[in-house]
Amino acid sequence: MKVYTDDDANPALLREGTVAVIGYGSQGRAHALNLKDSGCRVVVGARPGGAGDRRAREDGLETAPVREAAEAGDVVALLTPDMSHEALFRDEVAPALKAGNALSFAHGFSILYGRVTPPEDVDVIMVAPKGPGDLVRREYQRGRGVPCLIAVHQDATGQAKERALSYASLIGGAAAGAIETTFREETETDLFGEQAVLCGGATELVLAGFETLTEAGYAPEVAYYECLHELKLIVDLLYEGGLAKMHEFISETAKYGDLVSGPRVINEETRQRMREVLKDIQSGAFAHDWIVENQAGKVRYQKLLDADLDHPIEHIGRALRARMAWLKAGANTKDD
């Protein structure tokens, strides 16, 4: 698999026109500011007088209502939350698109599951940084970048891939390496990672460990430290150097426990559940469920979220974290 760098990109391709960034949340802000600092003309599409509009103006960016911004853009980056795409695209973005424009996404959900159907005469591309917007911005400011995935769903102009690479380079992604993928691969692996490992899997493992210790009579404060607090130490080692670095920096006792007990917890039954999660994603069942849940007002979603946030580990954690000075705003935030 080829990893593209700035040497493979032609930043001038996008500097010749205007990029309309629709939405000014985490990714929208990072993309807009990085593009502007890279020499692009950027117009942020946001609700006039709304929080995104105000913040973009404070950041020195040009803003306009969504349709006006889309009309001005040669590249239109749709960076609002997934569930807003269908109505926003239908009512504001689609009527403004012109032949030869490029429509860009940071996630493939809306294209893969048919929430957005672009006209045939525009390029449809994806540039998906593998990190939150705040990190995308900070790494760019440091002269570095966050790796990203690029993909082409529709090549109407013959330059779709070149446009994706140019965009990736201008936001700093090619400096760290841009890998070509497809909308389907990015969406399905992203959803699976969130559900089975990064969010759903990790948090359920933490809660199960906490409950196992407290049910056995151990102090909840001690259980919190062992099952949640110290997780960051391990994740940082894995992030920095994979399994090898983790094994290098943990004790021999921890390593042995890892090797003999890890497979008892994450076993073939767990893997089968993961396959079921992946099947629901691949079949579209998860997307359908999430779309219907939004249409119904997210009642079930809110009930599940409230229960999660009311877990005893949250109450214990708030009290313990209040004593951790390094977590307070402004602490240990000095740039490299």
Binding-site positions for Mg(2+) read 190, 194, 226, 230
Question: Residue 281 in contact with residue 188, Cβ under 8 Å?
Answer: yes
Strands (E) located in 39-92: 41-45, 62-64, 75-78
- Inter-residue contact 191 to 281 (CB < 8 Å): yes
Cite the annotated binding site for NADP(+) by residue number.
Answer: 24-27, 47, 133
Distance CA 59, CA 29 (A): 9
């969010």: which residue's tokens? 199
Catalytic residue among 31, 85, 107, 153: 107
Annotated binding site: 24-27, 47, 133, 190, 194, 226, 230, 251
Known binding-site residue numbers for substrate = 251
Question: Mapping DSSP to helix (H, G, I), strand (E, B) and coil, where does residue 107 land?
Answer: coil
The burial of 229, by beta-carbon neighbours within 10 Å (0-12 exposed, 13-18 middle, 19 or more buried), is given as middle
* Ramachandran category for residue 180: left, alpha or beta (phi over 0 → left; psi -120 to 50 → alpha): beta
Q: How many residues does the chain have?
A: 336
Per-residue DSSP letter, 308: H
Active site residue 107: yes
Which tokens go with 245?
């670095």
Q: Mind telling me the catalytic residues?
A: 107
